[in-house]
Amino acid sequence: MSGKPLLIQKAAQLVTLKGSSTAPLRGKAMEDLHIIEDGSVWVEDGIIRSVGTDAQVREQVGSRLEEAEVVDAAGRLVTPGLVDPHTHLVFAGSRENEFEMRLQGATYMEIMEAGGGIHATTSATRQADEEQLYQESRRRLDQFLRHGVTTVEAKSGYGLSLEHELKQLKVAQKLNRDHPVNVVSTFMGAHAIPAAYKERPDEFVEQVIREMIPEVARRKLAEFNDVFCERGVFTPDQSRRILEAGKEYGLAPKIHADEIEPYGGAELAAQVGAVSADHLLKASDEGIRAMAEAGVVAVLLPGTAFFLMAEMADGRKMVDAGVPVALSTDCNPGSSPTISLPLIMNLGCLKMGMTPAEVLTATTINAAHAIRRGHEIGSLEAGKKADLVVFDVPNYMGLQYHYGSNHTRTVIKDGKVVYERD
Ligand code: NIG
Ligand code: FE
């Protein structure tokens, strides 16, 4: 990569999160944002070369400043590009009808058991061709970018057959190539038992293990392997088999755990060495302890609890128990149809008892670690990718305090300005 160097100058607060590249932050350290006042960042070839006060950076850079493009952040907040570590980005259609049904009292699982829910989106996604899926997903990715997100994880799981799972993953791969936002792929063939296998779920589990995982790995279409471990979907035993099979093919385990009822998902995550366990609304104390010990990142999804009108996962308790916590939208058409990571941050503060500093850690460096990217994104340090956001607020608390607004002003990805609000 070449082109002009870039100076992002004079941020009122520059949130660096320095020193957190090797492991996610836990406990009290989740509040150590390592803020520089009147901070600047020097970028060359898409990589951060220097971070400090404006005076320090100017002195280091010297006369090279003359050739640089300048983004003036005076009076504003600058943070690492936000990272969303759990989305179901690639799907077709929407499910407003189910939203109405739930408002009238039907539950998420009842709708799914009656053939709606994930099954409804699976039908729509199977019918859509690659181009349609690409266009629909690309519009969502544009929206993520406008809210300050520079990397998302994206799961398959609305194909539920080899052909259609591959189609979803190919769309995610193409988006990663074409779009400024990076897309990190997760295979989630075990997202639901397809209707045709309702009476013989183990046959579907075998199909995921013998047919889908090897092919996804052979084509290098995913880095992670995820399972919806929940009563009525995949049992802990089936989930373990699927996650262990993925490991043999180099796919790192993730798990949708303890979302609707306590089911041993958090414990299983610790046992299989999952990179993250996600949801955790009903995780047991034992499971939380096991995750802290094993260093599994808890990816909490307050938008899902909000939208399903359920009790939130206890973010406060998990942070205090030493679990590294990340936050995410869970963007999907059923339980969380939002692309707004800033809204999720608001909910983290107001509904999960986390502090503004903790939620910022949870959507930058800890989110990066939840998708094994902590070494290259999530903090502003020399050597890392130049993914940054300028927010129209004077300090990091303003992001949460002025809730419900999109404060994103400028987004820089790989050292280039890729979004600027008019
Ligand atoms: O993370 N819980 C399972 N999967 C998604 C929802 C998928 C859907 O309803 O379409 C989730 O909430
Ligand atoms: Fe999910």
- For 155, the enclosing helix (H) or strand (E) is strand 149-155
Residue 13 pLDDT:
99
The set of residues, in sequence order, having a beta carbon less than 8 Å from that of 222 and lying 6+ positions away, is: 156, 169, 185, 186, 187, 216, 251
What's the pLDDT at 255? 99
Q: What is the pLDDT of residue 422?
A: 85
Is 37 known as a binding-site position?
no
Q: Is 42 in contact with 49 (CB distance < 8 Å)?
A: yes
CA distance 222 to 213: 10
Q: What is d(CA 172, CA 137) in angstroms, rounded to the nearest whole number? A: 8
pLDDT in tens, 210-266: 999 999 999 999 999 999 999 999 999 999 999 999 999 999 999 999 999 999 999
Q: 105 C-alpha to center of ligand 2: Å?
A: 22
105-109 long-range contacts (CB < 8 A, ≥24 apart) are 108/260, 108/308, 108/334, 108/335, 109/232, 109/260
Q: Which among 14, 88, 4 is positioned nearest to 46, based on CA atoms?
A: 4
All domains in the chain, ordered by first residue:
6-80+379-420 (2.30.40.10), 82-371 (3.20.20.140)
**For 395-422, how does the pLDDT look when each residue is reduced to its tens digit (9 = 90+)?**
999 999 999 999 999 999 999 999 999 8
Give the Å distance between the CA of 379 and the centre of ligand 1: 29
Look up the pTM and report it: 0.98
In this prediction, residue 3 carries a pLDDT of 86
- Average pLDDT on 361-368 reads 98
Residue with tokens 């799907």: 91
Given strand 325-327, what is the order of strands in its sheet? 82-84, 149-155, 182-190, 224-229, 252-257, 276-279, 297-300, 325-327
Give the model confidence (pLDDT) of 324-338 as tens digits.
Answer: 999 999 999 999 999
Please write the tens of the pLDDT for every residue from 74-94.
999 999 999 999 999 999 999
Interstrand relation of 47-53 and 297-300 (parallel, antiparallel or unpaired): unpaired
Q: Is residue 10 in contact with ligand 1, taking CB distance under 6 Å?
A: no
User: Which ligand approaches the C-alpha of residue 91 most closely?
Assistant: 1
pLDDT over 70 percentage in the chain: 100
- For residue 69, the cross-strand partners are 6
Contact between residue 239 and residue 277 where contact means Cβ atoms under 8 Å apart: no
Query: In which band, very low, low, confident or very high, does the pLDDT at 158 lie, cut at 50, 70 and 90?
Result: very high
98 CB within 6 A, ligand 1: no
Express each pLDDT in 93-151 by its tens digit. Answer: 999 999 999 999 999 999 999 999 999 999 999 999 999 999 999 999 999 999 999 99
140 a known binding residue?
no
Cα of 43 to ligand 1 centre, how many Å?
A: 39
Does residue 1 surpass a pLDDT of 70?
no
Q: Do 80 and 17 form a contact (C-beta atoms < 8 A)?
A: yes
Is any atom of ligand 1 closer than 6 Å to the C-beta of 338? no
Give the atom of ligand 1 at the shortest distance from the alpha carbon of 336. Answer: 12
What are phi and psi for residue 15, nearest 5 degrees? -85, 110
What was the pLDDT predicted at 2? Answer: 61
Two tokens at 4? 């002009």
Cα 334 to averaged position of ligand 1 atoms, centre (Å): 6
Nearest ligand to the C-alpha of residue 229? 1
Question: Ligand 1: which residue has its CA nearest to atom 12?
Answer: 335
365-384 pLDDT, tens digit per residue, is: 999 999 999 999 999 999 99
Q: Round the CA-based radius of gyration of the chain to a whole number and report it.
A: 21
- The finding on whether 16 has its CB within 6 A of some atom of ligand 1 is no
Mean pLDDT of 58-75: 97
Whole-angstrom distance, CA of residue 389 vs CA of residue 408: 7
Q: What is the pLDDT of residues 13-51, one digit of tens each?
A: 999 999 999 999 999 999 999 999 999 999 999 999 999
Across-strand partners of 82? 149
Query: Quick one: pLDDT at residue 331?
Result: 99
Ion ligand 2: residue ranges with CB closer than 5 A? 330
On whether the CB atoms of residues 412 and 9 are closer than 8 A, the answer is no
